[in-house]
């Protein structure tokens, strides 16, 4: 028996549609989680992408009339969907940004408060 080797997305042949589909899912999920994911999140993204590629392959085979267990295809699709949902649940919350109009209003309020304070000092 040959050595058992764990496979990753990088081990796939880049000429096949399955790799291209998985790479597209990786890019989409990476963008959805805000770019530059951590190592653990990157691994989860790649696993979700490979599950999506497997599910797509099984469904395509079923539609082509090949002998595919429909239960297996449905389970693969559900696993891919749950994996993608789990990845999206791990994304970081966006940092709140101040709206430009609010920044201008706050600057005006500060100017008005300074003018009032200066006016009261001169009395």
**Sorting pLDDT into bands at 50, 70 and 90, what band is 3?**
low
Q: What are phi and psi of 8, to 5 degrees?
A: -125, 180
Is 61 within 8 Å of 68 (Cβ atoms)?
A: yes
Taking the C-alpha atoms of residue 93 and residue 103, their distance in angstroms, rounded to an integer, is: 22
Taking the C-alpha atoms of residue 53 and residue 76, their distance in angstroms, rounded to an integer, is: 9
Residue keyed to tokens 């109009």: 101
**Sorting pLDDT into bands at 50, 70 and 90, what band is 14?**
confident
Count Cβ atoms within 10 A of the Cβ of residue 105 and give its class: 0-12 exposed, 13-18 middle, 19 or more buried. exposed
Residue keyed to tokens 């970081």: 92
Rounded average pLDDT over 30-37: 87
Question: What pLDDT does 48 receive?
Answer: 94
**Sorting pLDDT into bands at 50, 70 and 90, what band is 2?**
low
Is 32 within 8 Å of 42 (Cβ atoms)?
A: no
Residue keyed to tokens 């994996």: 83
Q: Using the predicted structure, report yes or no on whether residue 123 has a pLDDT greater than 90.
A: no
């Amino acid at each position: 028996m040959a050595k058992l080797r764990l496979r990753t997305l990088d081990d796939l042949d880049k000429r096949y549609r399955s790799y291209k589909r998985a790479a597209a899912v990786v890019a989409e999920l990476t963008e959805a989680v805000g770019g530059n994911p951590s190592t653990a999140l990157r691994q989860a993204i790649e696993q979700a992408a490979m599950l999506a590629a497997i599910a797509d392959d099984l469904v395509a085979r079923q539609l082509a009339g090949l002998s595919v267990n429909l239960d297996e295809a449905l389970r693969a699709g559900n696993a891919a969907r749950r994996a993608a949902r789990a990845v999206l649940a791990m994304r970081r919350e966006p940092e709140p940004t101040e709206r430009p109009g609010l920044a201008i209003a706050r600057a005006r309020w500060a100017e008005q408060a300074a003018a009032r304070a200066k006016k009261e000092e001169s009395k």
